[in-house]
Amino acid sequence: MIPFATALLAWFDEHGRKDLPWQHPRDAYRVWLSEVMLQQTQVATVIPYFQRFVAALPTLRDLAAAEEDTVLALWSGLGYYRRARFLQRAAQICVEKHHGELPRDFDALSDLPGIGRSTAGAILAQAHGLRFPILDGNVKRVLTRHLGIHGHPGQSAVEKVLWKHADALTPAERTADYTQAIMDLGATVCVRSKPRCDVCPLASDCVAKRDDLTTQLPSAKPSKAVPTRATVMLILRDAQGRVLLERRGPQGVWSGLWSLPEASDHDHAWRAAEALAKIDDAQSLPPFVHVFSHYRLNVEPLLFDEATAHRRIADNSSLRWCSASERAALGLPAPVRTLLQNL
Ligand code: SF4
């Protein structure tokens, strides 16, 4: 039997991805940024975001010094905005404490906001060739199937077992390539549904393939009902086509982003709209559902056209009237941006 890492590296040499933008150059800042972007998002989606981000903020010091709105605007559409805020906070800590560099020490690196054990391992392995294992979603899928490990990989007991195997399988040589190889295998061959076992370099001793368990592994998360919430979004648009935006508070979903004022129902929406501007009429726009990881949000947009701005909110730091071009430079939640674009 060919050892796991040898088989994987031979496959990588022929089929692995070697032209990803964060591989050229493969420095710690770029690897870190790509790892954080890839945490909840596929490679093909991440690539244009990554390219825009490094074009605007090419170094860690640029990220640390940027306006939060600039960072959120560059992140806008990737979702999970806490990642962007942690990224900037971590960059600022690196400037304050680590001479403007990501530390090479595992403990110091994984102490930074938003950098867990797997991300720290990926940065050290890929940027510096150091031997540290990783365990992201792709790797969990490959290992649970190949080794026949049952139980949801998010459960701590299962995760502990997976870390042990991930560590034991990581080679001392070519660690950067191995790390990319196992992520690539999970993303392109050992995919979630219909894994391509016929072309997999690990097929000869894979438990899931042997026992026909590929649809059962990794084990599903124990199910939990997802709650539903409802909101009315107020679109106050003035005669010049500007829309009133409100910056969300520091807590909760979309925290710190510029969004639309909201109300719990139509009555409250009218009252809120009257407090914000002079209005005459409202038009209900088609409702839509936005799914967060922990709840579904039913959104009912209500358009107040020809609204006239009250002078007293002109300088309010959490409310502002924005034209389409001004909105482009702000961090807006993706569904709100789409809603306004479709007006
Ligand atoms: S043989 Fe199939 S199930 Fe096993 S690791 Fe390869 S792709 Fe995944």
Digit-coded pLDDT (tens) for 180-236:
999 999 999 999 999 999 999 999 999 999 999 999 999 998 887 889 999 999 999
Among residues 145, 176, 210, which one ends one of the domains? 210
Domain of 153, CATH number, reads 1.10.340.30
Task: Let me know the angle formed at the C-alpha of 207 by 180 and 198, rounded to the nearest 5 degrees.
Answer: 65
Domain of 246, CATH number, reads 3.90.79.10
- Same domain for 54 and 184, yes or no, is yes
From 216, 176, 172, 209, select the one nearest 193 (Cα to Cα): 216
- Same domain for 180 and 80, yes or no, is yes
- Same domain for 164 and 244, yes or no, is no
Render 263-315 in DSSP notation, one character per residue. ESSHHHHHHHHHHHEE----EEPPPEEEE-SS-EEEEEEEEEEEEEE-GGGTT
Query: Using CA of residue 299, residue 304, residue 310, residue 311, what is the dihedral sign?
Result: positive
Among residues 176, 210, 244, which one ends one of the domains? 210
- Same domain for 239 and 201, yes or no, is no
Q: Is residue 164 part of a domain?
A: yes
Question: 288 alpha carbon to ligand 1 midpoint, in Å?
Answer: 38
- Same domain for 178 and 237, yes or no, is no
- What residues does 243 pair with on adjacent strands? 237, 322
Residue 342 CB partners (closer than 8 Å, separation 6+): none
Q: Is residue 223 part of a domain?
A: no
- Same domain for 13 and 142, yes or no, is yes
In total, how many domains does the chain have?
A: 2
Question: 115 alpha carbon to ligand 1 midpoint, in Å?
Answer: 29
Q: How many CB atoms lie within 10 A of CB 313?
A: 16
Q: Is residue 218 part of a domain?
A: no
Residue 303 CB partners (closer than 8 Å, separation 6+): 235, 237, 282, 283, 284, 285, 343
Residue that is written with structure tokens 């001392």 in the block? 172
Per-residue model confidence as pLDDT tens for the chain (343 residues): 679 999 999 999 999 999 999 999 999 999 999 999 998 888 999 999 999 999 999 999 999 999 999 999 999 889 888 999 999 999 999 999 999 999 999 999 999 999 999 999 999 999 999 999 999 999 999 999 999 999 999 999 999 999 999 999 999 999 999 999 999 999 999 999 999 999 999 999 999 999 999 999 999 988 878 899 999 999 999 999 999 999 999 888 899 899 999 999 999 999 999 999 999 889 999 999 999 988 999 999 999 998 898 777 765 779 999 999 999 989 999 999 999 999 8
Are the CB atoms for 335 and 79 separated by under 8 Å? Answer: no
Distance CA 304, CA 271 (A): 12
Give the range of the structural domain holding residue 319, as residue numbers without chain letter. Answer: 228-341
14 assigned to active site:
no
- Same domain for 274 and 182, yes or no, is no
Q: Of 169, 199, 202, which is best to mutate to test ligand 1, by the most ligand atoms within 8 angstroms of its C-beta? A: 202
- Same domain for 8 and 69, yes or no, is yes
Interval 294-323: pLDDT, tens: 899 999 999 999 889 877 776 577 999 999
- Same domain for 21 and 133, yes or no, is yes
Please name the amino acid found at residue 165: H
